[in-house]
A and B are shown apart, each in its own frame.
Chain A
């Protein structure tokens, strides 16, 4: 079923154009969500919902106006178009907009649409995961497991006469384990997800992820507080890529670049990282969390090399910034929903694989922290300063992995850290996440192989070797 009749799409765009706008775009979205949660080994919640709405973007010279509505009736949409024509303001700037180029690709192939599977099968999966986690140890005191699915259909139509559609189906499992011993509490989580149908769970064992989370929470009970200080840091693969995403990726988004508020402004062609670093944003990777056939402006996604052998090659653009900065579109115009304006966003962003095995990297490190798994983090795009939590960490002593440490954070500066990457592993992996910017959350992948940063500040409560600190 098409999201909206072609004739209605045409009349809405025509109506909105009456304001004398340079450009009109209609974005229509339908999204079905379902989530199920199990806590205390019981089904706590099965809930579902529908989002349906449209947004009209109108550009007069350099000024963007946006109106959204949930009323998709003919009357409602035409009224919205009239309102848009009325609200739309003429800016003083020049109208420049990235040309829509590239062949549209097919949406991701979904074998078993998750909507066709009843709640019972999903609940069975969750209860199995819950039991698997609880059986790991008597120290596991709470387990929360969740399942989520969403199916989003979008239509992007413009006054240029273009029409693009995409369909994005995602499934995800979440496991959160809490371990306790003698009043000491530790937690760990796993959250695998793909743009797949329910067939994702044919190859993905929910129980295995649950056990992994529970084992990590229990192991953390025996971990010592992390020492603080400057040291070499080996950052693990997969979600470790969040470090690049936050500390560098955002700085390569063309809206920040256009405002001169990132350290990467004017650095195209210059060395911004150590020569062993190549970084890529690729919206075309099959089934990945951040993959799109077309972005939320109808631009076919591409594989964009951001940094090649340490040299800055490209920023990431939406149509507006591509036009303003006279650069071809890159397929990075994204929005959370019909209630939001598209802005430059990452898709699947990762550091490319290098030559070393993880064992090589550890063996070559006399003293440092092995940040095997990173958790949440925060970055200041302007200065590039970042902080990340280490959710699974070990000390490295004499080229060997030593005692587990907890409560460590790594603190530093993105551009400086990029130059200090002195080893890149061969074990590239990607992980799903939700990236927030200007109040909009969009699904992305982060990723990297294991890498080593020669020196970073590590924060923690423990006593550093020979240091004068007390806990």
Chain B
């Protein structure tokens, strides 16, 4: 065991904690931002921190610190125990049963640590160079960033748990600026993987340029009731909004719009949604959760029917069910309930075949104001940008449109899902294919 973990657990016991848990994380970060062929800034760091949970008479105490000096560690334990005195006692406050998690190979790329910084810098420079030479209307970038990191997590508890894993991530982020007459539009795209080698440089450039240039000349259109096609990213963002409602904690505290709906049709029969913490390509994949409980795949909605919720040890105990290994946290927080890789299962239709089903409608590439959606009532009113669809083809760009409704009603109106699954970070690592919604009121002029 890590000597820090050992010291902390020993002190917890000496100070009267019946049970205790130490969460230690350390990581590295490398980020380079370029502009006009030069490095604008470069960040490089190693970072660490520790969080302690104590259990005494069913009261949980918590405290964290980035200072791992022995004196600071002792203070940390005392503070956690003192905090715990004020919390209410609840029999559901327990450590999980200690179970060994199956290893999950491939989460960390050993090659990343050996990669020369210059190659990362070159990646960012190349991204900018290509982005400004593909389309005459795109001659500048707003942002061109390469970033990678490693994260190492260790959890120890007084029930004998000793678990650790490492994960790496690399990504490229590109924001281009398209100009025509006096109009400016920005286009955003990103590429991600566990290593620089997995990044799709050509793809991210193409997409950022198309996103910006494709919106030039976008205009509002009159209000209409039409079929709506959501780009995988737009649909994934909606999944992200729904994510918090799958939490059993939100259900218990009556903050979930899915509360009391297990067994009900909360989406169209074509909709199946899973949370899969062991998905090979999922950037949120992990062998165990923030309490050390083995990670797994949980079906949340199958054939449109709500199957259940996500649990950590506390919510499982409180509702007499089993943990789904869904405790999420950093060293600065206690384990909350959250999604890992949340996926809307793709269908068999190609994106083109899905679009071909629309004679007159709107294709949404960007939804704005998702942070305004009420996660409790599910009511939303969003701004949308994209293209008009005529006879199955994207035509003129449109903007300043609004669409309003309820997330559940929206899920119930999904009539087709394509086969082009794509992921993005949206309150979890959310993946969705292109989605066709039967009909919505799209507000405009």
Contact = CB atoms under 8 A, between A and B. Distances in A.
Interface of A: 36, 39-40, 42-53, 62-70, 83, 87, 89, 91-93, 119-120, 123, 141-142, 144, 178, 184-187, 225-226, 228-230, 256, 259-261, 263, 339, 341, 375-378, 380-383, 385-389, 406-409, 411-413, 457-461, 467, 469-471
Contacts of B140: 259-261
B399 A385 contact: yes
Contact of B49 (A67, A70, A144): A70
B87 interface: yes
Interface residues of B, number: 76
Looking at chain A's contact residues, is the secondary structure mostly helix, strand, loop, or mixed?
Answer: strand
B274 interface: no
Contacts of B67: 50, 52, 70
Contact of B142 (A43, A44, A261): A261
A376 B374 CA distance: 10
B383 interface: yes
Interface centre among B225, B254, B370, B445 (most CB of A within 10 A): B254
B38 interface: yes
B383 A339 contact: no
A376 B369 contact: yes
B102 interface: no
B296 to A, nearest CB: 27
A243 to B, nearest CB: 13
Nearest to A51: B66
Interface of B: 35, 37-49, 51, 60-68, 72, 76, 79, 83-84, 86-88, 90, 117, 121, 140, 142, 177, 184-186, 220, 223, 225, 253-255, 257, 332-334, 368-372, 374, 376-377, 379-383, 385, 399-405, 441, 443-445
A429 B87 CA distance: 36
B86 A46 contact: yes
Given A64-B41, A409-B402, A388 B369 contact: yes
B374 A187 contact: yes
Contacts of A141: 254
Contact of A66 (B44, B61, B68, B381): B44
Given A376-B372, A407-B381, A459-B382, A67 B45 contact: yes
Contacts of B37: 92
A10 B8 CA distance: 35
A119 B87 CA distance: 10
A342 B244 CA distance: 32
Nearest to A86: B44
Given A184-B377, A412-B400, 16 more contacts: A47-B62, A47-B334, A48-B64, A63-B42, A64-B41, A66-B41, A70-B49, A70-B66, A83-B44, A341-B41, A378-B369, A383-B185, A385-B399, A407-B404, A458-B402, A459-B443
22 contacts: A43-B87, A52-B67, A66-B43, A67-B45, A70-B47, A70-B67, A89-B39, A144-B255, A178-B376, A228-B441, A376-B371, A378-B368, A378-B369, A378-B370, A382-B142, A382-B184, A383-B184, A387-B372, A409-B369, A409-B383, A411-B402, A460-B404
Contacts of A376: 369, 371-372
Contacts of B372: 375-378, 387-389, 409
A126 to B, nearest CB: 11
Contacts of A407: 379-381, 404
A470 B224 CA distance: 10
Contacts of B405: 461
Nearest to B88: A42
A386 B185 CA distance: 13
Contact of B255 (A43, A142, A256, A469): A142
A469 B405 CA distance: 14
